[in-house]
Amino acid sequence: MRRFNYLLRLARKSAWNRRGTLVLIVFSIALSTALLLGIEKLRTQIRENFVQAVSGTDLIVGARGGDIQLMLYAIFHLGGAANNMGWDSACEIAQRDEVAWSIPISLGDSHRGYPVVATTSDFFDHYRFRSGQRIKAAEGRRPEALFDVAVGAEAAKKLGYSLGRSITLSHGNSSSHMAEHGDMPFTVTGILAPTGTPVDSSLYIGLEGMEAIHINWRGGAPLPGMRVTPEHAARFNLEPKSITAMLLGLKKRSQVFALQRDINAWKSEALTGVMPGVAMDQIWNMVNTGEQALLFVSALVTITGLAGLAAAILAGLGERRRELAVLRSTGARPLDIMILMLCEGFLLVITGIVSGLVALFLLIAALAPVLADNYGIFLYLSLPSAGEWRLMGCICLAGLAAGLIPAFRAYRMSLSDGLTVSL
């Protein structure tokens, strides 16, 4: 052990004497490590944010159809729903003993390409994302009056909206002026705080507001000659006849399977109950190939950096023949020389890994606010996960493997070879 410690100190001093060259190798390993761990951290945290887009929701209920289709439309506002579910069924499900809270959601309209979500105040009270965080207003307040609208952070930023702005919604996803509900404008009363979820790119109104703008519409078009003012709209019965979906939170999560079975066998209409966690995993597995490709590319970059380590040490062996010969002449064994070279390579790899980890932490601390504000990607500083520790262990093993090549070459150098002067 004492001999090994001596060789380790000798390796450290030898590396320090050649620090000018070795700094480039450490920089290469640090860059490779930061890239590999950065992609792993980005992958895991984006997946966590994705899966927790509906944190705390136990079931999503909608008309009979595919689980993924319902999840993509109700939560991520992608695609479309085959049918709506009846309002009577939604009220009946919401009143069941197992249900702690329910959030009705009605989709279909848009504003300049951004989806409009009609819901109730329960959405702001009970909707949770990313470890139980709730929807908050960065400016203003949630929708309360009939023609109030709250705008997601990304939509407000891209459209340049502020409080008090008057806007009109469009029927469906059409951008045509003919599809606008121009006779019933809404007032922006709230700008929502960034969440990193589809909430950021959506507009939120009340269910009554959604019904009001469709009073004089039938079959996707306005009724000829019928005009309803905003003042008159409030006098109509604005209770919805159907909604797109509803989110449910249960008093006991152990009841989720029983309630799901009851909903899937609903007698009055064909309904589907989807567990968000299961559907989220299915959706994420669909993009798993791209995720693995990123890791593969970063692994190749890391291998390239380690190959540079082996090449640099091999190239330096010719210049260090005298040094190694002197060590051999003072009693060092061939195995000691091999251990010395391995220790140097190991120290370089460890220094590179630590430097890469520190650089990654500094980069996350600097870029996290920018990514959150501009791209809705939320990264946070945390201790390395089990996957990241495994990757660093693999880098260490790969570094030792790369160091074996010059170490074995040095092991084979004889004393006479080291002391021979080439003419």
Q: Give, rounded to a whole angstrom, the gap between the first and last alpha carbons of the chain.
A: 41
Hey, what CATH topology would domain 59-106+241-274 get?
Alpha-Beta Plaits (3.30.70)
> In the structure, what pLDDT confidence band is assigned to residue 376 with cuts at 50, 70 and 90?
low
Q: Which one-letter amino acid corresponds to residue 256?
A: V
Tokens encoding 208 = 């009554």
pLDDT at 191: 95
How big is the chain by its Cα radius of gyration, in Å?
32
Question: 228-262 in b/e burial notation, b at 16+ Cβ within 10 A?
Answer: beeeebeeeebebeebbbbbbbbeeeebbeebbeb
> In the structure, what pLDDT confidence band is assigned to residue 423 with cuts at 50, 70 and 90?
very low
Q: Is the pLDDT of residue 353 over 70?
A: yes
Token look-up 């249960």 returns 250
C-alpha span between 414 and 337 (Å, rounded): 11
C-alpha span between 224 and 150 (Å, rounded): 31
Helix or strand (DSSP H, E) at 242: strand 242-243
Q: What is the pLDDT averaged over residues 371-398?
A: 77
Tokens encoding 289 = 């190939």
pLDDT at 174: 63
pLDDT, tens only, 113-161:
899 999 999 999 999 887 788 899 999 999 999 999 999 998 998 999 9
pLDDT at 218: 64
List the beta bridge partners of residue 152.
Answer: none
Q: Is the pLDDT of residue 370 over 70?
A: yes
Q: Is the pLDDT of residue 408 over 50?
A: yes
Q: Which one-letter amino acid corresponds to residue 205?
A: I
Best-predicted range by mean pLDDT (20-34, 202-216, 270-284, 339-353): 202-216
Best-predicted range by mean pLDDT (43-52, 188-197, 297-306): 188-197
pLDDT at 147: 92
Percent of the residues in the chain that have a pLDDT greater than 70, as a whole number: 77
Entry pTM: 0.73
310/349: higher pLDDT: 349
Torsion angle of the four alpha carbons 6, 11, 17, 22, in this order, in degrees rounded to the nearest 10: -160
Long-range Cβ contacts of 18-25 (<8 Å, 24+ apart):
18/316, 21/312, 21/316, 22/312, 22/348, 24/312, 25/308, 25/309, 25/312, 25/348, 25/352
Comparing C-alpha atoms, which of 69, 65, 93 is closest to residue 255?
93
C-alpha span between 120 and 122 (Å, rounded): 5
DSSP reduced 3-state for 382: coil
Q: 117, 197 in Cβ contact below 8 A?
A: no
C-alpha span between 359 and 217 (Å, rounded): 58
249/390: higher pLDDT: 249
> In the structure, what pLDDT confidence band is assigned to residue 99 with cuts at 50, 70 and 90?
very high
Residue-range domain boundaries for the chain: 2-50+287-419, 59-106+241-274, 107-239
Helix or strand (DSSP H, E) at 368: helix 334-375
321/208: higher pLDDT: 208
Q: Is the pLDDT of residue 279 over 70?
A: yes
Token look-up 């939604």 returns 90
Q: What is the pLDDT averaged over residues 348-374?
A: 83
CB burial of residue 49 (10 Å; 0-12, 13-18, 19+)? buried
Comparing C-alpha atoms, which of 208, 229, 193 is closest to residue 144?
208
Instruction: Note the Cα 107 to chain centre separation in Å.
Output: 25
Best-predicted range by mean pLDDT (17-26, 301-310, 323-332, 348-357): 348-357
Residues with Cβ within 8 Å of 25's Cβ and at least 6 positions away in sequence, in order, are 308, 309, 312, 348, 352
pLDDT, tens only, 335-352:
667 777 777 777 778 888
Q: Is the pLDDT of residue 181 over 80?
A: no
Strands 148-151, 186-192: parallel, antiparallel or unpaired by DSSP?
parallel
DSSP 8-state code for residue 268: S
Q: Is the pLDDT of residue 4 over 60?
A: no
Strands 128-129, 133-134: parallel, antiparallel or unpaired by DSSP?
antiparallel
